[in-house]
């Protein structure tokens, strides 16, 4: 995941189904004086990021185990929100650093991650 896209990957019976959750935030510079519009732009960015994380929170609530991974700090930001909310107390949530990945690499990562978890228990 990053600040613009999250790949919700559900592993069921060895099969992975992927759904993409997109942030509405798109950075634009239309030639406006950015200093003049910076406050408004920052407020809009924060609201859109908040809406994006809310979408993810609503989806994560349906799972027992979740791994947040990706190349940016977005996963840690989301984890901190989830960790502070009692609604997520019973969900096992972990954070893993990873490089930018394509679809096949993401699927391999998820399969191997949960395979390792099965052997630990």
Residues 6+ apart with CB under 8 A from 81: 53, 57
Q: Is the dihedral of CA 53, 82, 88, 7 positive or negative?
A: positive
In angstroms and rounded to an integer, the radius of gyration of the C-alpha atoms of the chain is 16
pLDDT in tens, 11-44: 888 899 999 999 986 555 455 555 556 777 778 8
Output the average pLDDT for the chain. Answer: 87
Model pTM score: 0.82
Structure confidence at residue 25 (pLDDT):
67
> Can you spell out the DSSP letters for 63-102?
-SEEEEEESSTHHHHHHHHHHT-GGGTTSEEEEEE-----
For the cut 70, the answer to whether the pLDDT of residue 107 exceeds it is yes
Indicate the range of 33-37, 77-81, 110-114, 116-120 predicted with least confidence: 33-37
- What are the chain's domains? 5-24+37-120 (3.30.420)
């Amino acid at each position: 995941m990053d600040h613009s896209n999250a790949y919700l990957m559900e592993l069921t019976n060895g099969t992975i189904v992927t759904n993409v959750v997109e942030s509405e935030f798109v950075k634009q510079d239309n030639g406006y004086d950015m200093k003049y519009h910076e406050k408004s732009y920052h407020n809009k960015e924060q609201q859109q990021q908040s809406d994006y994380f809310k979408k993810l929170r609503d989806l994560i609530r349906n799972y027992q185990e979740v791994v947040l991974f990706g190349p940016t700090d977005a996963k840690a930001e989301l984890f901190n929100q989830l960790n502070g909310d009692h609604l997520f107390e019973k969900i096992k949530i972990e954070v893993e650093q990873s490089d930018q990945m394509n679809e096949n690499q993401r699927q391999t990562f998820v399969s191997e991650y949960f395979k390792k978890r099965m052997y630990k228990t």
